[in-house]
């Protein structure tokens, strides 16, 4: 096999607790992470010309070595010891710097794809150990299940019983730096962790789970995001939250038609990115 065409899904955080700052500068987190059906399309092809080439052409996404997908391919190519070249084309559908994990998902997808193309036979666990060195969210996309993520996001426990829901993603074109958000986060010390159940059966129960400790920082700078949350709730969402460090806001819905109408109405009224997708 010389070529693969793959889909790299986005994610939302149903929950994001920042439990404290670690001595290494990272933060201890506790998150509930859910993949959703919005995808970057990635083509990976082996080439007779040595080296790695990554092209995307999307504003805010570097081509070449500055792209996390390039770094993912580089790790495995070096590990393989082969002289082959790798060409990677990314058709970016997931908004950039939006709290949806697009870059991490691209890297995870490239790790899995290059592993297959080069016949390395590495296990998902091995790929996850490589992936966490590229980015804290990368292992989650290799894990391929709804997960409770702890540590810096790399300790994953599957949440097997989560309902299939419709999620309306709204991004009003605000780009947020994750580093800036964490730098401006004020921690009030260690706090007791609320219980996260292993089973949720409907949108109302999932809505009770929704919480994001980064939201006050991002929404404090961009109050429009609170208005987006209100729009989604008014359109029938059982709950609404900012995903990750922002600035995408999402609402959860039981009903496909209601979700699709909410996305279409918000997009038409404001010209923003708004899309209804299913959980994976």
Q: Which residues are catalytic, by number?
A: 11, 137
| Angstrom distance (rounded) from CA 138 to CA 118 | 20
| Angstrom distance (rounded) from CA 262 to CA 16 | 25
Angle, helices 68-80/102-117, rounded to nearest 10 degrees: 20
Please list, in sequence order, all residues whose beta carbon lies within 8 angstroms of the beta carbon of residue 217, skipping any fewer than 6 positions away. 181, 184, 185
Q: With beta carbons less than 8 A apart as the criterion, state whether 124 and 143 touch.
A: yes
Q: With beta carbons less than 8 A apart as the criterion, state whether 11 and 101 touch.
A: yes
Q: Tell me the H-state helices in the chain.
A: 68-80, 102-117, 124-131, 138-143, 178-183, 203-209, 215-221, 224-234, 256-270
| Angstrom distance (rounded) from CA 35 to CA 86 | 27
């Amino acid at each position: 096999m010389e070529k693969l065409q793959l889909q790299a899904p986005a994610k939302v955080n149903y929950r994001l607790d920042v439990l404290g700052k670690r001595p290494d500068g990272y933060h201890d987190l506790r998150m509930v992470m859910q993949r959703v059906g919005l995808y970057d399309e990635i083509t990976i092809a082996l080439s007779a010309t040595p080296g790695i080439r990554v092209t995307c052409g999307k504003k805010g996404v570097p081509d070449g070595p500055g792209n996390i997908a390039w770094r993912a391919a580089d790790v495995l190519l070096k590990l393989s010891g082969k002289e082959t070249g790798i060409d990677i084309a990314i058709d970016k559908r997931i908004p950039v710097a939006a709290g949806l994990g697009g870059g991490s998902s691209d890297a995870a997808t490239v790790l899995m794809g290059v592993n297959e193309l080069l016949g390395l036979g590495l296990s998902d666990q091995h790929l996850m150990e490589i992936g966490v060195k590229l980015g804290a969210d990368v292992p989650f996309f290799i894990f391929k299940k709804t997960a409770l993520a702890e540590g810096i996001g790399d300790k994953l426990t599957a949440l097997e019983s989560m309902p299939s829901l419709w999620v309306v993603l709204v991004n009003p074109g605000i780009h947020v730096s994750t580093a800036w958000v964490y730098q401006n986060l004020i921690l009030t010390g260690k706090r007791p962790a609320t219980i996260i159940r292993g089973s949720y059966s409907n949108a109302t129960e999932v809505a009770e789970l929704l919480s994001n400790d980064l939201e006050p920082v991002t929404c404090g700078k961009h109050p429009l995001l609170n208005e987006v949350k209100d729009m989604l709730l008014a359109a029938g969402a059982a709950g609404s939250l900012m995903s990750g460090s922002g600035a995408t806001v999402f609402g959860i819905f039981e009903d496909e038609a209601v979700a699709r109408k909410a996305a279409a109405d918000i997009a038409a009224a404001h010209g923003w990115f708004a899309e209804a997708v299913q959980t994976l």
